[in-house]
Structure 1
């Protein structure tokens, strides 16, 4: 990993441009390093918040409509993604990166390999679920009076969509990760300064390498297909989010204007309010997805256009690391959005945290005290009147 950037990294530029480029590159590098440190702590906060978020979403009072099921899927994916950062922190504590620490065993190498691949699957699915939630909500509002579109509001549709997304994302990930295998290299011998090991101590060391069948994969169409698919899975959501956010806002305004003309009963007004709250919640979550996925999507586009051995490619990797912090922030704010916008979510949160029960008990005790006091005062009043 580079310590920073120097003027020698920008050979094809003039001296004045080199100085400017070095300052910009080192500033991006500085942001990337700070973001990586902050990401780990934000991920820990996100895991805690999403545990509460998942507990609220899975309550019976929240219902089992398609939007809620998709939100549960997003929450689970965020939990898996952020948990990997906690795994990294624990791993560095248990297995510090120093010369006296033995290499990982074959089982631990496999565990780290599959955990990373599973994180890649869920990371891709989070973007897919965000797009799916926005599209589903748009069609529910757009075709509210068309019974043919009632299916997309059901839990079954969301569950089937989640299953399809998981299969597709797993296929893309496995196609890439199965190209690698672990091979045993020369045994690890502790340095002389590491006195805690017995004499002639050795440990088998493993490293990941590309399988022989894929040794020339850079020239195969399959790798090109993978690169395109993986890039599209990250770029398309960043493009779709702002489009459907705009369309959702337009549909929400049209639905509110139409209801003002036609809605008269109290029941229909309450139902309209709940629908508007759900739409506003989806819009706000779509905005956060756009902020978190958009910059990273642009970086993936640049990765596909920049030459492989280029300093600008390294700078682009630093930008990805810097923008990753928005992913952790996005995983944390969904709980706050739902709590601030959706009344049914707030009610479920109160029930979960026993606030509602305590409130009801206090209210009941106040009523009983008031009624007892009024009954005791009746005879006294009658005596006073007599």
Structure 2
């Protein structure tokens, strides 16, 4: 139970304000990602493997937004009227359930999006470096993107289960008040913890899991470097051929590069906190800091996922045209009235008389 020291006085107030900020941002982020998802799922967009992988990333981002909202919004979906409860280390069963299973799903979706972005950059780098290799070019097939998404979700689910499987929800009838005095609780509350018999193996697994979390962000700079080199080579080739216009494949490469950069700092704080938590398992102050850091780092996935829509708008002509057509269809659904002239012939003078007819076009 007492595996962490009490946080400093400023932490609770900062955490409370942070909850407000992140929940407001999630509303905007969720709406932006819904628009982003509706554009990516158009038939001609789904025929591109890059955009199929981005559909997988966007789906994970939407689930991340929902889970983050549920876990970090106690003032909307939880009873926080009792001030004393803010000092408790224990939780209600609903909060404990969300903390255990909600963070499990959150880890799967966050890691999944990072690994999908990594494979998207890897496939793009290989395809532009080896354009004549038939095996490499198979990676750009849309069906291969689907298998990549499924493989990533299986991998992230197994690695997350590796760490979360030993955590349990334990009931408590005591806690500490705001003066750090042990008190008896009138009703049973709960805590999420790892039993003592699994503490040694858990510390090693947490360290390994932290490295797996940080791995995509560590590989991203390498892939970004190769993508930048490939863009420069393509620019030189166009100059040698006397072409001034930019190739569309370069735009796609830039799109992948910017999406990869957006994931660069996403996993570093969370991953390193797990590594520190595992290596300094007996150092209570260090473990406390390692737990506090990723709490505030949860704002990074919200900002990162919301940026993908704007990156695609700026970098992809096909995405912009699809967005414009989707907007025009949404506006055109209201319908409009136009004038159509109908020609009728008369029997007396064999002349043609034009009469206006109102037609509603929907």
Give the RMSD, CA atoms, in angstroms: 3.8
Shift of 1:70: 1.1
Alignment of 1:217-256 (within 5 A): 217-220=198-201, 223-256=202-235
Q: Given the superposition, is the C-alpha separation of residues 60 and 315 from structure 1 closer, same or farther in structure 2, using an over 3 Å criterion?
A: same
Q: Given the superposition, is the C-alpha separation of residues 207 and 307 from structure 1 closer, same or farther in structure 2, using an over 3 Å criterion?
A: closer
TM-score under structure 1 length normalisation: 0.70
Mean Cα deviation higher: 114-123 or 31-40: 31-40
1:334 and 1:255 map into 2 onto residues whose CA distance is: 25
Corresponding residue to 2:322 among 341, 345, 348 = 348
Shift of 1:348: 0.7
2:235 and 2:111 map into 1 onto residues whose CA distance is: 34
Shift of 1:66: 2.1
2:95 paired with 1:121: no
1:184 and 1:299 map into 2 onto residues whose CA distance is: 27
* Mapped contact 2:209–2:274 kept (Cα < 8 A): no
Q: Given the superposition, is the C-alpha separation of residues 208 and 176 from structure 1 closer, same or farther in structure 2, using an over 3 Å criterion?
A: farther
Q: Given the superposition, is the C-alpha separation of residues 85 and 161 from structure 1 closer, same or farther in structure 2, using an over 3 Å criterion?
A: same
Task: Give CA-to-partner distance per residue, 1:111-138, whole Å, 9 cap, x none.
Answer: 6643332112111112111211111110
TM-score under structure 2 length normalisation: 0.74
Secondary structure, counterpart of 2:190 in structure 1? strand
2:269 and 2:166 map into 1 onto residues whose CA distance is: 29
> Aligned residue for 1:4?
8
> Aligned residue for 1:51?
34
Secondary structure, counterpart of 2:163 in structure 1? helix
Alignment of 1:282-361 (within 5 A): 282-306=256-280, 308-354=282-328
Structure in which a larger fraction of residues adopt helix: 1
Task: Give CA-to-partner distance per residue, 1:224-243, whole Å, 9 cap, x none.
Answer: 55224311222211211111
Secondary structure, counterpart of 1:291 in structure 2? coil
* Mapped contact 1:134–1:286 kept (Cα < 8 A): yes
> Aligned residue for 2:69?
86
Instruction: Structure 1: give runs of 5+ residues left out of the alignment.
Output: 6-25, 188-202, 370-386
Alignment of 1:32-51 (within 5 A): 34-51=17-34
2:304 and 2:146 map into 1 onto residues whose CA distance is: 23
Q: Given the superposition, is the C-alpha separation of residues 210 and 121 from structure 1 closer, same or farther in structure 2, using an over 3 Å criterion?
A: same
Q: Given the superposition, is the C-alpha separation of residues 209 and 345 from structure 1 closer, same or farther in structure 2, using an over 3 Å criterion?
A: closer
Q: Given the superposition, is the C-alpha separation of residues 49 and 209 from structure 1 closer, same or farther in structure 2, using an over 3 Å criterion?
A: closer
2:326 and 2:316 map into 1 onto residues whose CA distance is: 15
Structure in which a larger fraction of residues adopt strand: 2
> Aligned residue for 2:182?
none
Shift of 1:161: 1.6
Shift of 1:206: 6.0
Count of paired positions:
319
1:90 and 1:29 map into 2 onto residues whose CA distance is: 14
1:144 and 1:299 map into 2 onto residues whose CA distance is: 40
Instruction: Structure 2: give runs of 5+ residues left out of the alignment.
Output: 175-185, 342-362
Shift of 1:332: 0.7
